[in-house]
Amino acid sequence: MDGQTWERMWGHVERVHPDGGAVAAAIRSAARLARPSVPPVPNYKLSMSIPEWLQAIQTYMKMLQYNHTGTQFFEIRKTRPLSGLMETAKEMTRESLPIKCLEAVILGIYLTNGQPSVERFPISFKTHFSGNYFHHVVLGIYCNGRYGSLGMSRRSDLMDKPLTYRTLSDLIFEFEDSYKKYLHSVKKVKIGLYVPHEPHSFQPIEWKQLVLNVSKMTRTEVRKELEKFARDMRMKILKPSSAHSPMKERSRGKSLSPRRRQASPQRRACRRDKSPAVVDKKGDLATLNEVGYQLRI
């Protein structure tokens, strides 16, 4: 973490914490901070049911805690290949720092890899409150004919949902009803495609295969669109609409040069990971966890 980002984080602490600069000064001047706890990464056991396994993953995320510091500790670029994002997820388990909603989605994908009966897909929300727009994302789950979710949020009812919803629209409407409790109106909902279980895939995650402007639609219209999309997903009809797809480029009237058409996955695989290190200074892990604890609401 560079010095400018480090100081910006402390400035955020002073603005949002009830005790202002006092709590920041107390942490920064402390000669010794308690060693932060490092929760064990959950391990799947054959005796576990899928709902039990999902609950173990969600419990692990909650032990990491939500990041209230105003600084995201892990860089998540949505256009990165799945393999690169899984490396970031491994880093999350090593560092055990607080996370936000986007990081929780990547971590949830990483921890549910290897469970072919569990389909994972991103669900994004755009909401409006008090003149401002807010964005949130969770990891949708489909297994054995039921829908649920994993995730992280400041609000307990805007993250994980049990694997009990019969339809995708039931799950989305449950989130919409939860938002209403906080006077947020949902403007848009974006649904992505199933994420492959191959952790070494060079395919990026498809984040918004279906985009619904729900503020201008009735619930009947929203349900119809969601159920058609969910049915096509289950039948694996839908394909990624990636910008790297030659067919998609041609449909837009664009052409690909011969060099781009001949680019192979092996060549793309050689690109160097430019993600910055999260923490460079020894002892900062305890400090960051203490800041997250003080700002927790």
What are the distances in angstroms from CA 218 to CA 104, 131, 176, 179?
31, 23, 13, 17
Determine which one of 83, 128, 153, 244 is catalytic.
Answer: 153
8 A C-beta contact, residue 4 and residue 10? no
Tokens 């160097």: give the residue. 272
Nearest CA among 96, 97, 89 for reference residue 69: 97
Cβ neighbours of 76 (radius 10 Å) = 16
CA distance 222 to 216: 10
CA distance 265 to 202: 7
CA distance 142 to 68: 30
Determine which one of 96, 136, 169, 184 is catalytic.
Answer: 136
Cβ partners under 8 Å of residue 106, min gap 6: 76, 85, 86, 88, 89, 92
Residue 156 annotated in active site: no
8 A C-beta contact, residue 289 and residue 7? no
Cβ neighbours of 117 (radius 10 Å) = 8
What are the distances in angstroms from CA 71 to CA 66, 98, 100?
11, 10, 10
Residue 270 annotated in active site: no
Residues annotated as catalytic (active site), given as ranges: 101, 136, 153
